[in-house]
Amino acid sequence: MRTIEFEQVRRTVESLCIAACYELPDDVRTALEAAAAKESNPPAAKILAQLLDNARIAADERIPLCQDTGLTVVFVEQGAELVLPPPSQDGPATLHEAVNEGVQAGYENGFLRKSVVADPLHARTNTQTNAPAILHHIFVPGDKLRISVMAKGGGCENKSQFRMFRPTAEASDVADWIVEVVRSAGADACPPFVVGVGIGGNFESSCLLSKTALLRSLGEPHPDGFYAQMERELMARINALGIGPLGLGGDTTALGVQIETAPCHIASLPVAVNIECHSHRHKTAIL
């Protein structure tokens, strides 16, 4: 059995938080470049060029891509042949602690805005650490530890939606609703978007599917031809909405539509849409 110390997890999460907030992933930059090259609306093309400039300056000067450095969502895939050993005396005692301490260090040392309030409804006092993170942990075959960190902006998360369809709904009903969710997100969620869609599972897992869909590389279609076609059609319909970059019109409302699916109950058809803004920040490390 391989072992990895919690301290190594903590350090990795710290550096992933900083890298995610400073460096736009290559696939997002490539998608912005492609959109800028074919955008027919001159003001929209100019905004796309400015978004690319912003990404270049952030990476060069080691500053955040956006003032909202997000709620940190951490995905950990732990190989079944890998052991996270009992903690040393002073270090983090659990995976949760290691992740949260890594987030705290990343946001402090990277000069990233801390955006988490401890109580959601009445006190809403800032935790001053950007912790706790949202942690999703699963076991997979192998002996590696894969850690993905997403800095998820509040403005776009606020526009995400869930709906439980009747199982008799047609694919066109689902597609119409997805387009409507994007239309209602509008300029508030900082387009162009990456649209994560979760279809199937149940109430909570369809929302998680819509989030994990965002981790897939842009331009990589769903492996099932039916859903790959649905992604293409949704992308065309969403870009025909004319919302455009930052909501000022144009051909580029989405950079990608990514669907993930799962089996579901015979009586259910859960669908979730997770809206992601143009500042689509995520980084992965494999230990």
Of 151 and 209, nearer to ligand SF4 (C-beta) is 151
- 98, two tokens: 């290691």
Of 153 and 270, nearer to ligand SF4 (C-beta) is 153
Is residue 279 within the footprint of ligand SF4 (CB under 6 A)? Answer: yes
Q: In degrees to the nearest 10, what's the CA dihedral of 63, 65, 66, 71?
A: -90
Of positions 153, 192, 244, 270, contacts ligand SF4 by CB under 6 A:
153
Binding mask 88-127 for ligand SF4 (x = CB under 6 A): ----------------------------------------
Kindly state the DSSP code that residue 126 receives in the 8-state scheme.
Answer: B
Residue list 232-271, contact with ligand SF4 (CB under 6 A): none
Alpha helix ranges (H) inside the chain: 6-22, 26-38, 42-61, 95-109, 154-157, 171-185, 203-212, 225-239
What Rg value do the Cα atoms of the chain yield, rounded?
19
Of 79 and 196, nearer to ligand SF4 (C-beta) is 196
Amino acid 64 reads P
Q: Shortest gap between Cβ of 3 and ligand SF4 (angstroms)?
A: 37
Dist CA 188 CA 197 (whole Å) = 19
Is residue 155 within the footprint of ligand SF4 (CB under 6 A)? Answer: yes
Is residue 132 within the footprint of ligand SF4 (CB under 6 A)? Answer: no
Kindly state the DSSP code that residue 219 receives in the 8-state scheme.
Answer: T
Is residue 103 within 8 A of residue 130, CB to CB? The reply is yes
Number of residues in contact with ligand SF4 under rule CB under 6 A = 10
> Residues with Cβ < 8 Å from 240, sequence gap 6 or more?
none
Q: Shortest gap between Cβ of 67 and ligand SF4 (angstroms)?
A: 7
Q: What angle do CA 94, 96, 102 make, to 5 degrees?
A: 105
Binding mask 181-220 for ligand SF4 (x = CB under 6 A): --------xx------------------------------
Of 46 and 113, nearer to ligand SF4 (C-beta) is 113
* Interface contacts to ligand SF4, rule CB under 6 A: 66, 68, 153-156, 189-190, 277, 279
